[in-house]
């Protein structure tokens, strides 16, 4: 009988202890939930810096987007909600907006640069390549920028186009193709190469009544205007 009373007593004591710990846990959570913390000033900080500071205060960060800002450089926090100094509950999120940079940018100086590198420079400052006009000139190597519009140091809207005048190099001379038919291939080939013309494919064919090594066909034909970079094809008797 005493053991039965002892068992009931221990069971009652265990029930009381469970109720105590349950009440303490609920009370702690309620207190913690209602506890307030001061929101730090995140303006001008990077996302990494802001996350670290919020973590130390048991707050989180919510990135909501980006907006133009003349005050803060691109990638820095330009706006936060709630504002600095406000008080919010622990474990709540602070909403932030990053700076997308200024709506206006300064046009860089790209005159004298090669077109490929200039295009990347424009992209890096949120501008784009506009209309490209090419002209022959001996003063600039092919591919170099002669002029730009708008000019350097001009302030323009972001994503504006910059028009370019690009050199094609010195205009290549043109020559009238001579009549090579009936001439000996070896002497013609030597003369063409001496003048920096390019002799390309040479085909050999039988031609009745001709000695071997005589040119019987040519391309480009006689009288055609050619440049030194053009390939000359010949057919020779064998």
Q: What is the per-residue pLDDT across 108-150, written as a single tens digit (0 to 9) for each?
A: 999 999 998 999 999 999 999 999 999 999 889 899 999 999 9
List the one residue out of 115, 125, 117 whose CA is nearest residue 163: 115
Do the bridges between strand 93-99 and strand 60-67 make them parallel or antiparallel, or are there none, so unpaired?
Answer: parallel
Q: What confidence score (pLDDT) does residue 229 get?
A: 85
Residues 216, 214: Cα–Cα separation, whole Å:
6
pLDDT band at 44 (very low <50, low <70, confident <90, very high): very high
Taking residue 166's Cβ as centre, other Cβ atoms within 10 Å add up to 20
Distance in angstroms (rounded) separating the CA atoms of residues 210 and 119: 58
What is the rounded distance in angstroms from the CA atom of residue 122 to the CA atom of residue 140?
21
Residues with Cβ within 8 Å of 77's Cβ and at least 6 positions away in sequence, in order, are 42, 43, 44, 45, 46, 47, 50, 96, 97, 98, 99
Give the mean pLDDT of 190-212.
90
1 pLDDT exceeds 80? Answer: no
Q: Which two tokens stand for residue 170?
A: 């010195």
The pTM for the full model equals 0.47
The pLDDT of residue 101 is above 80: yes
Cα–Cα dist 21/23, whole Å: 5
Burial (0-12, 13-18, 19+ Cβ within 10 Å), 53: middle
Cβ–Cβ under 8 Å, residues 103 and 71: no
> Could you tell me which residues come within 8 angstroms of residue 54 by beta carbon, excluding any fewer than 6 positions away?
40, 42, 60, 61, 94
CA angle 119, 122, 125 (to 5 degrees): 150
Q: Which residues, 6 or more positions from 83, have their beta carbon under 8 angstroms from its beta carbon?
A: 39
Nearest partner of 163 among 140, 192, 133, 137, judged by Cα: 133
- Band of the pLDDT at 70, cuts 50, 70, 90? confident
Confidence of residue 12 (pLDDT cuts 50, 70, 90): low
């Amino acid at each position: 009988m005493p053991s039965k009373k002892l068992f009931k007593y221990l069971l009652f004591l265990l029930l009381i202890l469970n109720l105590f710990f349950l009440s303490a846990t609920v009370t702690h959570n309620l207190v913690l939930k209602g506890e307030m913390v001061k929101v730090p000033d995140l303006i001008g900080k990077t996302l990494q810096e802001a996350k670290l500071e919020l973590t130390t205060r048991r707050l989180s960060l919510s990135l909501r987007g980006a907006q133009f800002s003349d005050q803060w450089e691109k990638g820095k926090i330009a706006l936060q909600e709630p504002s600095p100094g406000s008080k919010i509950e622990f474990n709540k999120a602070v909403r932030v907006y990053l700076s997308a940079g200024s709506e206006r940018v300064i046009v860089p100086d790209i005159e004298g640069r090669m077109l490929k590198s200039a295009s990347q420079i424009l992209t890096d400052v949120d501008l784009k390549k506009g209309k490209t006009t090419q002209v022959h000139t001996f003063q600039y190597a092919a591919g170099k920028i002669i002029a730009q519009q708008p000019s350097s140091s001009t302030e323009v809207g972001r994503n504006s186009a910059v028009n370019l005048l690009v050199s094609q190099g010195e205009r290549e001379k043109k020559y009238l193709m001579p009549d090579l038919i009936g001439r000996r291939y070896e002497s013609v080939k030597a003369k063409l190469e001496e003048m920096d013309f390019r002799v390309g494919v040479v085909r050999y064919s039988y031609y009745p009544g001709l000695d071997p090594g005589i040119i019987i066909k040519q391309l480009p034909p006689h009288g055609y205007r050619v440049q030194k970079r053009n390939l000359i094809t010949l057919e020779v008797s064998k």
